[in-house]
Structure 1
Amino acid sequence: MLALNTIHGKFIKYTLLLLTIPPTIFLISFYYAFRTEVITDAYHDMCDEISNQQKAISGWLNHHEDLLKFVASNPSIIHLPEMRLDNFKSFLSAHNDFNSIVLFDKYGDVKESVPTFTTANVADREYFIRARNGQATATSPLISRLSGDYIIIISQPVYGKEHEFEGVIIGAISFKTLTEEFSLSETNNSTRPYLIDAKSHAVLANVDKNAPPNIIPPQKTDGTPQSYINTNGVRVLGISTAINDDKWILAIERPFNSILSRMESFLISFFLVSIITLTVILPLIKKYISATVKPIETISTLSTTLLNNISNTACPYINMNKAPQEVVTLYHNFCDMAKKISSYVQELELSNLTDPLTGLANRRSLEKDGCKVIEICRRSGVSCTCLVLDLDHFKSVNDTFGHQAGDTALQTVSAILKNHTRSSDICARFGGEEFTILASSTTAEAAMYLAEKIRREVEATPVTYDSITFNITASIGVAELSHEIQACSTALEDGIRAADCAMYTAKKNGRNRSAQWSDEDCSMA
């Protein structure tokens, strides 16, 4: 991550500000300057669309009312009943929009129908009452008893020769015919116009369903467009107008997202172009300043690394051809100094973690690296076992042959341990004549097999010092580390203690043998 309080960081920061602030100001200004204009244009387009649809639907309804009025004005439907059925069939054949036609008498009973059906008296129906009062009517959608589909009923009064009221003629038109004719939506989830019942505020295609009332868009005006949250919880721009003698409401809604999408697409494109331009320019700027800044940054980073890990620090290669001479000298002197310090520290760490007599890891190294082995075994889901080896009667070896012979014995045993352990194991001189092996990916059974191999080879290998040759034996304790989740230092300590206890059990049972830790022989209290 780029640090802004460095030379490099400050230069990049101010460069980025100069490159990003002007486009950002432009984007914000453009958005607020054109947003209102885009919304107003969309509103005017919606006004034009709903006006055209209002005229078209009203004309369509008037046309079908006139067709039915023509039939109602034919004297034969009253005075020539024998011709009435043929006239009705001819009418339906010529006008496919109509599904059926029915003639009611002045009392509301059926006199003739095509197709034939019987129905209850309709004298109390609104369309009959309005026709009786001389008004043509187009109803809201009703469910047809014949087809089960939504239909619109258009009614016209029928008069006799003396202009006396003789009955009502109605024609049924499928509501789907209307929606398909004018590409109307049957729900308010579309951007197409849709029809709402003025009384129930339900979408006309769902007037018989238990749907919640719709939020009616504002009436068409010449004022400022208004946005609102519609029935579906979407912010929209909407407009509506009354139709069909104010029984229906023609509405149209446009989601704000779709209205502003083109403008937002332009802004996003501009933004992406700006980002690409910035991506191209920024590496050139960084390259321009890197010749001087990079060596200084490297020295700063290296000094921090040297402070945290002084034993493993190396200077990376940097092309210094274009750097000032002072920076080149500073860089090379610092790298030489870091290399010398790192070499001295590595020597000190090696002597601090290695037993000088045997070349094995010492107790401090075991405690330091043992946790790493335990954690690796835990993550891998494998066993980890501790072995503790102690030379039998080692004090008598020192007393009989001298301490230098005892040191040779320790070196001989150390060589045997090295040959029987892997690079993933830790083999350490724990103190005096006691050794510890931390074996990774090893069960207690496998560790017992390893312990016996080591024990037999120690017993079979003679120790030679000057002209003296003697043999030694070893007692070995084995303990598998607990699988319970605990601190690795605690697990290591408990494992060594258990293996040590098992080793003393082996000595108690006669020495020169291996023993596995058990609750019966040892107590961890």
Structure 2
Amino acid sequence: MIHFMRPRTVKQRFRLWIALAILMLGLSINIAFYILYQQEIQAEELHNLSDKLNLQTLFIERWVQERTLDMRLFAEDDAVRKLNKPLMEEIFRDFTVLQREFSSLSYVNADGVTEVDTNSATGVKVNERDYYWAAKQGKSSMSDVIIGKASGEPVIIFSAPTYDQEGRWTGLLLGSVKLETIQRVVSSLNSGETADFYLLDRVGVPVTKPRFIDDIRSNPRQISTEITRRAAVQSVSKEAYANYKGDSVFGSYQWIAGHRWLLVGEVSKKELYANLYRLMFVFIAITLATLILSFSGIVVLTRRIERPLEFLLQGTRIIKEGQYGYRIDHAVFKHAPAELQELCDTYNLMSRKLKTTVKLLEESAMIDPLTELYNRRYMMQNGNHRLLRALEAGDPCSVLLIDIDYFKQVNDTHGHLIGDRVLRHVAGVLQRQTGGDELAARYGGEEFMVLALRLGAVQAGALAETIRRTVAAEPYEANGIRIALTVSIGGAACTGLDEGADAKLLLEQMIEEGDKALYRAKQLGRNRVEWESSPPGDG
């Protein structure tokens, strides 16, 4: 042993001191890494939890706003204002088929009794519910988790007051959302073996099922843990705590929906540090292996690893900047270990799939899958901005609302499959007749919309007449079935924004005016174009 520690040749001494230097360096790095990375892992995981919570908060807040807007739009429908109950029921049922967010839609009269319900649960009194009194005061509302009187299951109720044509309060509309609807959204964030995201109401009752609770539908129990207490006092503590299972976890929270809901994200402390232990094992193994290799081998190995890793890191930075299709030149990895070559191939495959996935996500967010036209969400989110830009440039703009006449008869006679094909047929007409500055969209059901940028009332009216004639001249024909089609069209135009007008609501106002003209076209016999005489914001 002493002889070994006192080498006689320079070669031996060089190897010994290099080995000792690598050993000491490896031990120092491992110890420092363990101490520092333990803290970094915790901070990074809490940051990741916070990022996911913020992203999910934006989605849920938008989801709540959209459901509230759905109820308000229903409350403004002519069938609701005129208390046309058969038509209300038909509209409600069609909507629940097309829009599966709501499990049921109901109309409640001024006495608090349901008169129209898509689940046939009429005659139910709800006048003791908070949303009834909110509607009586003219307010839309969203309930906490309650047990539905008709379904007997925990639900969330969206409500909006209704008024007749003279502005008198006639009751309210209710939209029931089962917890499974929002469950799919929140649970999508769960990853790994222990990551758990769930939603609580303000008193701690689960809105969505925590990952490790079997069932909350029959008897949702209140959850009271350290994270709920922190949320109650807005604490920013980052210490680990015991979750509802009693496991030690790190967690973060976010209040949403006006402090009505609490979104919680948790990850097990054990799982979090398991990655550190595995990584430490790898570091120690690398250190011991390095002692066996010669100095020249270390230099060659580090060169062959360092350069490819730089390209991988550069590639991840490029993807982070949004260039999802970036690929790494495989020639760079020609002399790299096989694992890194496989990593390069995997990276390039991941990049290609990521680009395709992002493209599909972007398209699904703005394209109606049935007709391949823009959807209503795209028009409401982007149409107003494009409309204002055109008006600022001094160009007139118009909106056309297009409804297929007697479309319900098509579904009743030929079935919904043929009905879908008829919708695609009419969408094809719109695609051929529009383009450039005319944006065609499926607005809902059998109703379409065209936003004609830089077209005034005269030009847009001509476009509308062309669409009407083309639809009438091109019936749907397939497999021995021939269906003559006509459309009713209502239009509204705008040449400028009035002083004091709300620019954010301009498109909604034009749609409202166009809807009035469409209603008039139907009343006057259908298969015609009607134009609103007083376009909103017309300068």
Give the TM-score, by structure 2 length: 0.44
Which of these two proteins has the greater Rg computed from alpha carbons?
Answer: 1
Give the TM-score, by structure 1 length: 0.45
